[in-house]
Amino acid sequence: HMGDGVYAIASLNGRKLYVATLGAGGTIVQMTSYAVGHRIRRIVRLDACRCLLLTEVFDSDRTGPLVEANVCGKGVIYETSST
């Protein structure tokens, strides 16, 4: 939960981050997807707009890059290199 009815939802196999905005009564009024390019294992909220995504390499036990995403309309803004 990012605050103000905004939720970040990870797609493990689709390698996307979905951002859902809920309206009155809990109905989805807006859904946006951002291509991350890696399987998302965990979402860590940094503030009302930014979250850090722990990723992994597809079909591997290797940890992927850390990805910083801005759910206030800017998408993926920073990615570390994976090792």
Prediction pTM value: 0.78
CA distances (Å), origin 5, targets 10, 30, 43: 16, 11, 17
State pLDDT tens for residues 23-72. Answer: 988 899 999 988 888 889 899 999 988 899 998 876 777 788 888 888 88
CA distances (Å), origin 33, targets 18, 25, 73, 74: 4, 22, 10, 11
Q: What are phi and psi of 61, to 5 degrees?
A: -90, 0
